[in-house]
Every structure is written in structure tokens, then in C-alpha cells.
A and B are shown apart, each in its own frame.
Chain A
Amino acid sequence: MNGVTVLTMSFVEYSDFVQDGDVAIVYLGHESMMPVKVQQGAQTQTRYGAIRHTTDLIGQRYGSKVTCSKGGWVYVLHPTPELWTVTLPHRTQILYTTDIATITMMLELKPGSVVCESGTGSGSLSHAILRTIAPTGHLHTAEFHQQRAEKVAEEFKEHRVDHLVTVRNQDVCKDGFGVTGVADAVFLDIPSPWDAVRHAKTAMKKQGGRVCSFSPCIEQVQKTCEALVAQGFEEVSSVEILLRVHDVRTVSLPLPDFGPDSLAQTQPDIAEKTPPIQASVTMKTTVPPREIPGHTGYLTFATKPRT
């Protein structure tokens, strides 16, 4: 039965077994993962020793435990946009899953959506968009930095999502997105989004759609909102979303010794039976991490009305 239908891994489709050419995520331990390009004959070094792709990875089921050369073990995971976001090579500052999730819902992305994005950056958001709009949608992404544009296009190919995306090496503020009247949604993560608002409008369907701009500074938000209103966008709304991680711990709170009480004084055996030393209460609780990201950026959403 095995091998009758060989589904190839991609970022938009699950497969069961690791194959040559896949991008797998190696789980090394708590919050420690790395992406691996699976290739016949290749080896990957980890702190637990080497992983030999041909014997240790190819043909293994995703989610299996893989024993490394030094006897340590890791798990091999199927790639998802979320795992990619925490393992991808940074070429720019990236968007993380908390913001991505909000953007995806508030832009109303779903299979079939046509989306414009700029800049492409390291492709963290792009992968999440592609996952959501597949198999019938399309992403038009513009990146003005030539090297970054080429690199991300290469990654899309490796991740087998290149049929869903067009990468353009152009400045969206000057040249727009390269498409007119096709987009259901536009996302902007650029230093001066207000300069791109009119291009966003041009790129969108005449029936309307949703737009989002991500900016770290409130002054940028202010100017973007003004530009959006000036271009006739409606339902302009700015939000900020913060992730709080709760670390689960077992804690033990000691109980103070109040000294022998009157009852114990009259009955000396009771006082002897309850030594005050181990008096504590153990419980499961959560503690916040010592430091958390307090700000990523403001998300400004708006609706383009029918024009």
C-alpha cells in the first residue's frame, strides 16, 4: 500500500513520510528547532550528533524520533508556516505568529483570496498567507531589495508553493504592486505605508476588500490613517496585540510556624506528631517569563469600499 500515492510535502499540503528534497523541521528540545533541507547522502550536525539524511530521515514518518550519531535523539516535524516562522533565516525583522494570526483573520483571508504584500522581507508572513489562500488563491508580493527578492523566490520554490506566488522586485511606493483591480486584500509592512495607500487601492478589486498596515511607531500609524481616510477607505481601526506565554510550574509555598497552639499544649502527643519543618503547600501554577516582547507593531486595518 505504501507508495501508491506519494504525496509530496509542501507548506500547503501535509504528507506522511519524509522524502528527498523536503524541508523538515528538526525538533531538538524546548523552543529549539532547526530547518533541514533533506538530501540523499547529506548530513546535518546537531548538538546530539550527526543526522544522516539517507538512513535517518528519508522514508521516516513525520513526527518520528530520530537517533543521532552520539546517541541523542530528536523529532523530525512536518513544516508549517508557524514552525518556519520560528526557524527561518532572518534577512529582516519578521512578523511573528501572534500578529500573523490577527492579520489573516482581519484581512478575511481564505482559500481563493488574491493578496498583495510588501515588503516580502524574510517571507514569514508570506508563507502563512500562501497556506491560507491555497489552492486557488494567489499572492503578489513586492520587495525592493533585489537580493532578498531572489532569495525568497528560491525558498518558495523549495517549499513547493511557487505556483501560488509572484515575487516582484520593485518599490511599492513608486511602482505599486504590479497588478490592478485583482486583490481582495493588501498588506503593507514598509517604513512609509502612507506612500503606498493609493497603490493599494489600485491593486484592489473594484468591489472592495481589506487592507492592513503594520508599523512600529505611532507617528507612522497617524500618517497612514490620514492617507487611508483621504483615499476613501472606511472602518479604519488600529489595534495592538500582545502574546503572553505562561510557563507551567510546580511551586511550593512554605507555611509559617505559629508555635504550639493551646490544644497542643494540653495534649502533648499531638504537638510531637506534627513537626513544623515540612509544612508547605505544593501546587501547579504558571509564572510569566522574566521578559516578554512588549511591542511588535500597531496593526491598522481598513475596508476599501466599492468604487
Chain B
Amino acid sequence: MADNVDEDSQYRIKEGDYVVLKRGDIFKAVQIQLKKKVIFEKQWFFLDKAVGQLYSSTFEIVSGGILQPLKPKDTESPTDAKEAGTDNRNIVDDGKSQKLTRDDIETLKEQGLKGQEIIQRLIESSSTFRDKTEYAQDKYIKKKKKKYENTVTILKPSCRILAMMYHGREPGKICHLRYDTLAQMLTLANIHAGSKVLVFETCAGLVLGSVMERMGGYGSVIQMYPGGGPVRAGVESFGFPEHFHDMLHEFPICHVNALLAGTLDTTAKDPSADSKKSDMSAEEEQNQPKAEPEEQSMETNTEADGTHDHEKDEREKLKEARAQGKKVKQEEKRKKLAAAAALLEGRNADGLVIASRFHPCPVLMGLLKFLSPSRPFVVYSQYKEALIECYTKLKDHGGTVNLRLTDTWLRHYQVLPNRTHPVLLMSGGGGYLLSGTTVAADRSKPAGSRRAEEPAAKRLKLTDTEG
């Protein structure tokens, strides 16, 4: 029990870790890299000294951008002055209450004074501070702290922190999905370990990462992606252990129709990769959605430059090696596609999560076909109108129950002795959700669109999913 070092090893910051920097309510996700300058809140520093420290530690940034661990008690309020006024009847705004000038403060900063010390000086040089009410003094100190205290806390990433970070920093990148809305999605879709979940998102990978966190490496996630390749920057920030990536699959949305029609099977399932023809077609297929401009331009360069014979040989070899590498990569990609297709073909997924900048209607109608009956789905859209259309379509089409179009309001409170009230500003909107549960397609209604769905439903019944 005395050996605390081992016990803490998983709580220590390591080189290469993905972490989140925090000051006040501001977050930033970075990777711990030695000798790499990081800019956060108008300050630059190096994270080298954080390595080996415990997560959730707070550091002071000292000259040269070096981090110095702070003792928890150091962050306490610097003032002991108990003298305070009762109201502001005698406080006049003449702009002269602060005796320190801008230049004075700059000089103090250059002298390497700590943030706390600067705040103490500001308080001492303020002629009105003592007349302010206790509450106004508190507020004054808090404001100055925000400005002058140069501390940073290093946190272990989590869905909570990253969702708050993205919403605060880059809401446009995540379609303005607010963190409480994301929370609703994960719950409404019953995301949990061991299930098979489809995710279609253009939220930088935040939604995908959140789904993966909730599944803890158990089960499978199939990311349906638009365009050339899946976007996963946000997933990286979670810093998942290696084995989490084993459960992650990807499938291009442009192949969904082919998969549903059964025409994708030959490409995806053919095990004889040596056959040149199938290889070519696979290559074509891969290249169509994902143009690889770097590699292509490199190749043209090689050909144009190859004037000398031996040089040409060298280049030829290099080219061949590169082509071989490309082939291996493509083969890997093809295998991945086949694996994802195999997972989808059973049409027995356990959940569907959609959050994208695309019109949700076709996405939902297309991907719902891959779900087992009695499974939840949830669609996010920044706009309610798009979801009204989804709702109407689903009602016409059948095959779902428990449809709900909702949004949530999130209100923060300031809770302080005698100063408790809702926070003045609240988020205007965090987007809308349409959620529901799939059921076996209805065969009694004669609606034309439903007839077309019948074979799929029958097939579903016949396919044994777990056997």
C-alpha cells in the first residue's frame, strides 16, 4: 500500500498523450510533445515539464514558457482585506481610481511578477477598492484573476470536456451541437458496450468519439462517411487505447445504394486479391471518392524528371516500391471495406446516430434499413424544419414508433452566498433531435412505398444474426 508510484502510473501525464488544457472555462486539446511550443489564451509555453505529473494538476507559466507545478492552495484568493463598503453611493467613476498605469503593469509583468502579485498591487493601488461592497470586491478580484493569472490545468480528455470545448471554441465545426444535446443523443440511442452502432457525422469526430467512449471498446461502431474519407480529428483527442480502434469500422456512404442492391458484394467479398481485374476495379472505386493529390503529383514528377538511365532505373524501382506500398494500402482498405460491408449486410445494427451538415432525411431513410427492429435511432439537425420533414416521411413510411422531435434548454446558475441567480447569458440553441424506435415493417397497409420495403423486412426475419 505504501507503494504509491505504481498505483498512480495510469494517472500520470506521458509524452504523446492527448490532453486538454484548461483555464477558467476555456479548453484546448493538444498532444504532449517535447520541445513543442503551445499557444493557449495568448500565451505560449512548453509542455515538457508536465510529463510525469498527475492529471488535473495546475501549472504556473513562468518565464521562457516553462510550466511549474502549483500547490493546490496557491490558487486561493490573494486578499486578506476584510474592510468593505455597504453601497456605492460615494463611488464616483472619475477614471482615476487605479493609480497604476498601463506601463507600470507592463513593467511589473516584465519583472516576472506572478499573476497573484500583480493583482495584489492592483488592489493596493485602487483608491475605491476599500469602499466597494464585499461582493464587488470579489467580482473585481475574479476579473483581474482572469486577466493576469497565468496558470493552466492539464486534464485527461473525456466526452464531457471535449464536447464543452468544441461548443465553446468551434461550434461551426460540430454543427452547433451543444453538449447537453450530445448527452441526449447518447442516451436516446441507448449507446452501450457490446452493441453494433452506425454513426454518420460531420462533427469533426466528436460524436463518433463520444459513442466510442460509451462503448468502452466492446462491440462495433461503423462510421458511415461522406466524401473521400472519414474525419476523425476529434476522435484522436479522446486519446483512446489502441484496442478501441479495433471496434471502429468505416463505410463510404456513396456505396450504400450498391450494398443495399447487393451489387457491392463481388468487390467487397472477393478473397482473390491477386486477380488484376478485381484489383483494378477496387482501385478505381477507392480513388473515385478519395483523390490522393500528393501521391499523384509525385508520380508525374518522377516520370518527367527521369532523363538519365541509371537515375531512371532508381526512380523506376522507387516507383515500383511506391506502387507496391500503394497496392498494400489499397488491399488493406479493400479488406476494411469488405469487413464493414459484412457488418452492415446482416441489417442487424443496434443503433443509429446521425449528426451532420447534410439534409438528414435521405441519410435517415437510407441508414434505417440497416437496423434490427426494436432499436433506437437519433438524428440531430441544427434546424428544426429538416427534422419536421424526416418526421413526416417516417410517419408515411411506417416501420418506426415513439417518434419525438425535441430540443433542450440549458440554464447555468451562479450559486454564491446571497448572490444566487441564473447566469445572465445562456445559449440560444443547441440544435434539435428526432428520436424513435424501429419496428418490423408493416405489411397490412397498402401504401406503395411500404410494399417496396417488404422483401427487406422478410429477409431480416430469415437472417440469423448471432449464429
Please list the residues of chain A having a beta carbon within 8 angstroms of any beta carbon in chain B: 1-2, 4-5, 7, 12-14, 16, 27, 61-65, 75-78, 80-83, 97-98, 100-102, 104-106, 108, 110-112, 128, 131-132, 134-136, 207-208, 218, 221-222, 225-226, 236-248, 284-286, 298, 300, 303, 305-306
Contacts and interface: CB of A to CB of B under 8 A. Distances in A.
A208 B11 CA distance: 10
Contacts of B413: 221, 238-240, 298
A1 B218 contact: no
B17 to A, nearest CB: 16
Interface residues of B, number: 66
B467 A134 contact: no
Contact of A222 (B388, B412, B415, B467): B415
A98 B408 CA distance: 8
Nearest to A249: B388
B462 to A, nearest CB: 9
Contacts of A81: 190
A97 B187 contact: yes
B72 to A, nearest CB: 7
A63 to B, nearest CB: 2
B384 A305 contact: no
Closest 10 CB pairs of A and B: A63-B373, A111-B216, A63-B374, A101-B187, A105-B183, A1-B464, A62-B374, A1-B467, A238-B413, A4-B467
30 contacts: A7-B466, A14-B372, A16-B372, A27-B401, A61-B374, A63-B373, A64-B439, A64-B440, A77-B374, A77-B401, A83-B437, A97-B188, A100-B187, A101-B188, A105-B186, A111-B214, A131-B190, A134-B194, A135-B218, A136-B216, A221-B413, A238-B413, A238-B415, A240-B411, A241-B180, A244-B406, A246-B407, A248-B392, A300-B415, A303-B56
B276 to A, nearest CB: 37
Contact of A63 (B163, B372, B388): B372
Given A13-B194, A27-B401, A76-B374, 4 more contacts: A222-B417, A246-B405, A284-B389, A286-B405
Contacts of B350: 14
Nearest to B217: A111
B404 interface: yes
B186 A101 contact: yes
Majority DSSP secondary structure for residues of A touching B: mixed
A134 B193 contact: yes
A295 B465 CA distance: 43
A11 B11 CA distance: 32
Contact of A135 (B194, B374, B392, B415): B194
Contacts of B28: none
Contact of B410 (A1, A97, A239, A303): A239
A284 B392 contact: yes
B409 A245 contact: no
A207 B461 contact: no
Contacts of A104: 183, 186-187
B375 interface: yes
Contacts of B461: 61
Contact of A105 (B182, B195, B348, B384): B182
Given A5-B467, A16-B372, A286 B388 contact: yes
A11 to B, nearest CB: 9
A82 B8 CA distance: 37
B260 to A, nearest CB: 20
A194 to B, nearest CB: 13
A73 B75 CA distance: 64
A12 B216 CA distance: 13
A75 B406 contact: no
Given A132-B214, A245-B406, A16 B192 contact: no
B184 interface: yes
A20 B281 CA distance: 50
A288 to B, nearest CB: 11
Contacts of B217: 111
Q: Which of A105, A132, A208, A305 has the largest number of chain B CB atoms within 10 A?
A: A105
